[in-house]
């Protein structure tokens, strides 16, 4: 990735803004974001660069995408309405933005002869299948409107690859965390919520008994694998994860220790659509994309705590 013209949809969001920062070092970057879940603060430190163009707009606007994708090399499609609970409450908007927005992105990429589209999918497409680790060839079993919308995007990517010869990669993210993740939304992910509560001497809240497990992925590793996916000749679906799992109880206690606090955990009822266990097989990404996670959970949490303390 050097001297390329790149579009990042959702580039003011958590993962998108981390991707912007890395890619801006050697490339021209266009960010499209309607700021419904993204935040200009996430790209404030780079917005004055001559190499970045910010467009306030939505992936639901096909005309905008057609104009913006002219002469673009790569498209990193991060824009989405995130969160399983939010999709349970409002399935229409999740589908409209996530599924239709992905279709629009692929149409504009095809029409403008982009080199490749890298699509942010989700481990939620696996659902609660008891087999661990999750492998890309397992039958999907989505349990929420969010998961259905992400799976729909994957199917569109595969169809555009086979019918229109548009190279696509779908990256199934497993519980991404790190700097710039919003802790304030009612749908905030578990790690920023835990960290901000604990730093403010409040109890972290666990849904269920805390025995559920997750395979967490540090955002720097996600940025790296996105770039590897663009540069690689490989196409298709890939798990992106740390490749190890931790219980939510263990996670809460790790953050309490690293924040040097003495706080008890609060337990509340489990949430609809949440899965019990998650662990990825990342062999395919290692073999085809040369992906190797650099951060273990302790190192990643330390980096994230430092960012929140700042």
Nearest to 268 by CA among 190, 204, 175, 202: 204
CA-to-CA distance for 288 and 294, rounded, in angstroms?
17
The answer to whether 96 is a known catalytic residue is no
With beta carbons less than 8 A apart as the criterion, state whether 8 and 227 touch: no
> Phi/psi of residue 70, each to 5°?
-60, 130
Contact 219, 178 (CB under 8 A): yes
- Residue corresponding to tokens 């990825």: 280
Q: Residue 88 — left, alpha, or beta (φ > 0 → left; ψ -120 to 50 → alpha)? A: alpha
Catalytic residue among 126, 146, 177, 291: 146
Distance CA 12, CA 225 (A): 19
Q: Which residues pair with 280 in a beta bridge?
A: 134
Nearest CA-CA partner of 9 in 56, 45, 73, 41 = 56
- What's the CA gap between 16 and 8, in Å, rounded? 7
What does the alpha-carbon distance between residue 77 and residue 109 come to, in Å, rounded to a whole number?
Answer: 11
- Locate 82 and state its tokens: 């995130």
Between CA 270 and CA 276 the distance in angstroms is 10
Helix 190-199 vs helix 248-258: crossing angle, to nearest 10:
40
* Separation between Cα atoms, residue 194 and residue 205, nearest integer Å: 7
Helix runs in 56-189, H state only: 62-68, 84-89, 91-95, 101-111, 145-164
User: Annotated active-site positions, please?
Assistant: 146
């Amino acid at each position: 990735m050097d001297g390329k013209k790149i579009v990042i949809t959702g580039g003011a969001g958590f993962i998108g803004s981390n991707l912007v920062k890395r890619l801006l070092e050697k490339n021209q970057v266009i960010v499209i974001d309607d700021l419904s879940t993204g935040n200009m603060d996430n790209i404030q430190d780079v917005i004055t660069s001559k190499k970045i163009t910010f467009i306030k707009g939505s992936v639901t606007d096909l005309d905008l995408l057609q104009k913006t994708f002219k002469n673009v090399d790569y498209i990193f499609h991060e824009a989405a309405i995130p969160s399983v609970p939010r999709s349970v409450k409002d399935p229409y908007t999740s589908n409209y933005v996530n599924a239709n927005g992905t279709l629009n992105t692929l149409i504009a990429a095809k029409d403008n002869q982009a080199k490749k589209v890298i699509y942010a999918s989700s481990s939620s497409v696996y659902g609660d299948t008891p087999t661990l680790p999750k492998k890309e060839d397992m039958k999907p079993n989505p349990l929420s409107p969010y998961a259905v919308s992400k799976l729909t995007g994957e199917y569109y990517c595969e169809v555009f690859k086979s019918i229109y010869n548009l190279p696509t990669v779908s990256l199934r993210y497993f519980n991404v965390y790190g700097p710039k993740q919003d802790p304030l939304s009612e749908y905030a992910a578990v790690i920023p919520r835990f960290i901000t509560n604990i730093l403010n001497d409040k109890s972290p809240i666990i849904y269920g008994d805390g025995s559920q497990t997750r395979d967490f992925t540090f955002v720097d590793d996600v940025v790296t694998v996105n770039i590897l996916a663009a540069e690689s000749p490989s196409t298709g679906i890939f798990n992106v994860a740390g490749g190890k799992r931790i219980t939510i109880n263990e996670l809460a206690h790790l953050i309490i220790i690293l924040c040097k606090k003495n706080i008890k955990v609060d337990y509340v009822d489990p949430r609809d659509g949440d899965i019990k266990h998650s662990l990825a097989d990342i062999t395919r990404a290692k073999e085809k994309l040369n992906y190797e996670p650099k951060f273990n959970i302790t190192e990643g949490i330390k980096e994230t705590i430092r960012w929140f303390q700042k």
